[in-house]
Amino acid sequence: MTDTAPRPTLEAVAARAGVSRATVSRVVNGGDGVRDILVERVRKAVEELGYVPNQAARSLVTRRHDAIAVVVAEPETRVFADPFFALQLRGISKELTAHDNQLVLLLTEGRDDHARVGRYLAGGHVDGALVFSLHLDDPLPELIQRAGVPTVFGGRPGWSGDRHGVAYVDSDNRGGARDAVRHLVGLGRTRIAHITGALDQTSAVDRLDGYRDVMVDADRRLIAEADFTPAGGERAMRELLDRCPDVDAVFAANDLTAAGALRVLRESGRRVPDDVAVIGFDDMLPVAEQTDPPLTTVRQDIEEMGRLMARLLLRGPDQGTRREGVGGTSSSVVLPTTLVRRASA
């Protein structure tokens, strides 16, 4: 578990190149202000010896780590049941790699883990953190703020009294929801229902708000609460059918939920989209394309969200739009969504 072969040090390279350690260091770190001849000699020595800088030693003096933590709160299995997380990670990874940063993944399962993560972040092991805060009452954001690590959140954090200058990247959930519902309206539907997501997550709340924006004085019975799962979607759809048999369209908070609704609709003998039009959210391919009929849905560019989070963090908190001041700056970003038309609406 320890290093096997004793790796060459700066010293060794210096000796071989016939220069001082300082010079080698300079060359290794960008090599400005060193004569070309020496640069060449050092490069050669590095090559021959297979020298790789010792990051620990470097960090010790620079106090930087070129590493950022990605914290994923994972109380539910749900997030693992969809590729959301993986895609976001991919975007993050790409951006970090481009900036020579490492990605330290911190998965939390429960209360105990919060403390662990807090400690780790406070321990100054990383230069920043990317945090996915899934629930309104999540204690993590608080802990992290206290750890004093530059942070960007994935998805609008929902803690009460939004702190000043929290940086986050989110999809335009509300706008996307509006587009979906407007599309339904454009189809001539009048009894448009909404199956919500888990309302302790801002994305669910925002999508509900978007629905309400369009359906200003909608029948309250047209709103059924679910939790982003297929099972929840089925349950909600049954309720809906029960309360409002005349429903002619459903906007579900995500694709999984929509898939559940679809199934219940079919069972009940309704044809989609003829009798009831259905729209989902996410455009989670393996789900949206496989349903019967394929799902019309609101797409968000998940990978891009990840990339942006990383970019925002690496750029640092000082480059926001507003002037620095109380509470810092930290511009946040909200990405647009697009409606993807398939057969269900």
Partner DNA sequence: CTGAAAGCGCTAACAC
Partner DNA sequence: GTGTTAGCGCTTTCAG
Can you give the binding site for its own copies, defined by CB under 8 A?
A: 1-5, 7, 50, 52-57, 59-60, 62-65, 67, 70, 74, 79-83, 85-87, 89-90, 93-94, 97, 102-107, 109, 113, 116, 119-120, 122-125, 127-128, 148, 150, 230, 256, 259, 263, 285-287, 289-292, 314, 316
CB 172 within 8 A of CB 335: yes
Q: How far apart are CA 89 and CA 70, in angstroms?
A: 8
Main-chain phi, psi angles of 274, to 5 degrees: -55, -55
**Helices 111-122 and 140-147, packing angle to 10 deg:** 20
Q: Which does 21 bind (CB under 5 to 8 A by kind): its own copies, DNA, none?
A: DNA
With respect to its own copies, which residue has the nearer C-beta, 7 or 35? 7
Min dist. Cβ of residue 30 to DNA (A): 10
The span of 18-26, 67-75, 233-241, 257-265 binding DNA (CB under 7 A) equals 18-26
Q: Is 30 in the site for DNA (CB under 7 A)?
A: no
Min dist. Cβ of residue 43 to its own copies (A): 15
Q: Is 203 in the site for DNA (CB under 7 A)?
A: no
Q: Is 22 in the site for DNA (CB under 7 A)?
A: yes
**Buried/exposed code over 206-238 (b: 16+ C-beta within 10 A; e: otherwise):** bbbebbbebbeebeeebbbbbbbbbebbbbbbb
Three-state SS at 276 = coil
**Buried/exposed code over 92-128 (b: 16+ C-beta within 10 A; e: otherwise):** bbebbeeeebebeebebeeeebbeebbebbeeeebbb
Q: How far apart are CA 271 and CA 265, in angstroms?
A: 7
With respect to its own copies, which residue has the nearer C-beta, 154 or 158? 154
Rg over alpha carbons for the chain, rounded to the nearest Å, is: 26
Min dist. Cβ of residue 117 to its own copies (A): 10
Residues 226-285 that bind DNA (CB under 7 A): none
With respect to DNA, which residue has the nearer C-beta, 118 or 157? 118
CB 333 within 8 A of CB 312: yes
Min dist. Cβ of residue 224 to its own copies (A): 20
Min dist. Cβ of residue 127 to its own copies (A): 5
Q: Is 126 in the site for DNA (CB under 7 A)?
A: no
Q: Is 145 in the site for DNA (CB under 7 A)?
A: no
Min dist. Cβ of residue 1 to DNA (A): 13
Q: Which does 236 bind (CB under 5 to 8 A by kind): DNA, its own copies, none?
A: none
Chain length of the chain: 345
Residues 56-95 that bind DNA (CB under 7 A): 57-58, 60-62
Q: How far apart are CA 106 and CA 124, in angstroms?
A: 14
First to last CA, the chain: 56
CA angle 102, 108, 112 (to 5 degrees): 125
- Choose among 202, 201, 213: nearest CA to 177: 213
CB 253 within 8 A of CB 103: no
- Choose among 54, 56, 41: nearest CA to 7: 54
Q: Which does 287 bind (CB under 5 to 8 A by kind): its own copies, DNA, none?
A: its own copies
Min dist. Cβ of residue 34 to DNA (A): 3
With respect to its own copies, which residue has the nearer C-beta, 211 or 228? 228
Among 29, 190, 290, 319, binds DNA (CB under 7 A): 29
- The contact set with DNA (CB under 7 A) reads 6, 9-11, 18-23, 25-26, 28-29, 33-35, 37-38, 51, 53-54, 57-58, 60-62
